Amino acid sequence: MLVPILKQGDYLIASVQSELSDEDLLKLRDELVKRVGELRSRGVIIDVTALYVMDSFATRTLRAIAHMIRLRGAETIIVGIQPEVAFTMVQLGLKLEGVMTALDLEEGLAYLQTLHTSKRR
Partner 1 sequence: MNKEETKKPTPESSDALLRELVDHFREKREILRQQWVQLMMGKGLLAGLTQEEIETESITIYDTCIVCLETGEYEGAQAYATRMAERGVLRGMTTEQIIGGLLTLRDVYGRSLFERYQHDMERLSAALDIYEPVANKILSVVALAFVEEREKVVRQQQEAIRELSTPVLQFRDKLLILPIIGLIDSLRARQLTEQLLRAIRANRARVVVMDITGVPSVDSKVANHLVQTVDASRLMGATVVVTGVSPEIAQTLVTLGVDLSKMNTVGDLQGGIEVADQLLGYKVSRTEPPATGLITSKEKVP
Partner 2 sequence: MADEVRVSINSEYDIVTARLKGRDLAAKLGFSSTELVVIATAISEIARNIVQYAKHGEISMSIIQQGSRSGIIITARDKGPGIPNINLAMQDGYSTGGGLGLGLPGAKRLMDEFEVTSKVGSGTTVTMKKWLR
Ligand X SMILES: Nc1ncnc2c1ncn2[C@@H]1O[C@H](COP(=O)(O)OP(=O)(O)OP(=O)(O)O)[C@@H](O)[C@H]1O
Binding site for ligand X (CB under 6 A): 56-57
Spatial contact of 43 and 77, defined as CB atoms under 8 Å apart: yes
Q: Does 50 bind partner 1 (CB under 8 A)?
A: no
CA atoms within 13 A on the CB side of 36: 25
Chain position whose Cβ is nearest to ligand X? 56
Regarding 101 and contact with partner 1 (CB under 8 A), the answer is yes
Strands (E), the chain: 5-8, 11-15, 43-47, 75-79, 100-102
Please, what is the minimum distance in Å from the beta carbon of residue 8 to ligand X? 33
Least distance (Å) between residue 55 CB and ligand X: 8
By CB under 8 A, residue 115 contacts partner 1: yes
Min. distance of Cβ 100 from partner 1 in angstroms? 5
Q: Site for partner 1 (CB under 8 A): which residue of 39, 42, 82, 105?
A: 82
Which one-letter amino acid corresponds to residue 27? K
What CA–CA distance (Å, rounded) separates 2 from 111?
25
CA neighbours closer than 13 Å in the CB half-sphere of residue 8: 17
**Which residue lies nearer to partner 2 by CB, 1 or 119?**
1
CA distance 72 to 17: 26
Using CB under 8 A, list all residues that contact partner 1. 79, 81-87, 89-91, 95-103, 107-108, 110-111, 113-115, 118
